[in-house]
Amino acid sequence: MLTVNWEPLTNLLAEGLEDLGACHWEEVEHDKKEVPFALDIASGIAMEKSGAFRIAALRRDQELVGYCAFIFGSLHAFRTRQAFLDAIYVVPEARGCGATFLKKIEALLRAAGVERFVAEIKPEVPLRPGKSRGTVGEFFKACGYEDYAQVYSKLL
The average pLDDT across 139-155 equals 86
CATH class assigned to 2-142: alpha beta
| Confidence bin at 85 (pLDDT 50/70/90) | very high
pLDDT of residue 153: 78
* pLDDT one-digit tens code per residue, 41-66: 999 999 999 999 999 999 999 999 99
Closest CA to 85 of 120, 123, 113, 46: 120
The average pLDDT across 123-143 equals 80
For residue 33, pLDDT beyond 90: no
